[in-house]
């Protein structure tokens, strides 16, 4: 009898776990950091621009290498550099929202978070269609940030490889980190919002090296189509 009760309890626990897993996997408020796939595809993402010097250099490299990236832009930088932003669109790159001013959103009120979206969208929409992807500045989020982003129609995207190029480390360190960490479905984080930054000097080498390893470059939205088992999400409050 005791064994029966133990087996019954185990069955109840497992059933509860399956319900929980199902709820987690169907909850579209979660955050994408990579895509589960066996295909050797990766997404290059570039944050904080457009910058009047760095972004044109990056666009030239991407065009030469025939690679499409996803740019998470700041509204204030779009406002300052609308022609460069328009060139991103004309070159066939994907764009996502990175707020207007790069404020840490969890520190703001709901009203201020909404304003960050509204001001960014106001300068983006005259140039291109409404983006569907959003990346919180610094990867900082809480449940309020995710709720507001979802209400505005955004899918929240983080990353699985952080090059930390904004710290201006040695170029070899950036390249080696990408080669070491890359896996099918990786989302690579780079930046174009400051000068100087080593990103333009390493980007071509990273593209060539990953191609030699059999990888294909796609945008984030394209990467999501390679999902083989359901999105890999980071739950609220998890470390990056």
Mark whether 91 is an active-site residue. no
Give Cβ neighbours of residue 29 (< 8 Å, ≥ 6 apart).
146, 147, 150
Secondary structure class of 133 (helix, strand, coil): strand
Contact yes or no for 119/100 (Cβ under 8 A): yes
**CA angle centred on 72, ends 194 and 215, rounded to 5°:** 100
* Active-site residue identified among 47, 48, 165, 192: 47
CA 132 – CA 146 distance, rounded (Å): 14
Residue-level length of the chain: 240
Mark whether 110 is an active-site residue. no
Contact yes or no for 46/70 (Cβ under 8 A): yes
CA 49 – CA 191 distance, rounded (Å): 7
* Active-site residue identified among 48, 191, 192, 208: 191
Give Cβ neighbours of residue 168 (< 8 Å, ≥ 6 apart).
196, 197, 198
Handedness of CA 152, 86, 95, 39 (dihedral sign): positive
Catalytic annotation, residues: 47, 191
């Amino acid at each position: 009898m005791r064994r029966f009760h133990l087996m019954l309890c185990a069955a109840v626990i497992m059933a509860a776990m399956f319900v929980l897993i199902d709820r987690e996997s169907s909850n579209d408020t979660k955050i994408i950091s990579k895509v589960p796939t066996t295909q050797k595809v990766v997404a290059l993402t570039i944050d904080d621009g457009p910058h009047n010097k760095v972004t044109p250099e990056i666009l030239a490299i991407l065009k030469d290498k025939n690679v499409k990236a996803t740019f998470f832009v700041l509204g204030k930088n779009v406002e300052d550099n609308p022609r460069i932003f328009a060139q991103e669109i004309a070159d066939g790159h994907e764009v996502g929202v990175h707020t207007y001013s790069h404020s840490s959103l969890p520190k703001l009120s709901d009203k201020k978070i909404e304003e960050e979206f509204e001001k960014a969208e106001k300068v983006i929409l005259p140039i291109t269609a409404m983006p569907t992807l959003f990346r919180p500045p610094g990867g900082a989020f809480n449940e309020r940030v995710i709720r507001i982003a979802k209400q505005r129609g955004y899918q929240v995207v983080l990353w699985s490889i952080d090059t930390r190029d904004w710290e201006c480390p040695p170029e070899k360190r950036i390249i080696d980190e990408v080669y070491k960490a890359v896996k099918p479905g990786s989302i690579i984080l780079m930046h174009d919002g400051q000068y100087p930054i080593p990103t333009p000097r390493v980007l071509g080498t990273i593209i060539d090296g990953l191609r030699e390893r059999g990888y294909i470059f796609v945008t984030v939205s394209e990467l999501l189509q390679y999902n083989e088992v359901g999105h890999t999400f980071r739950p609220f409050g998890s470390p990056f």
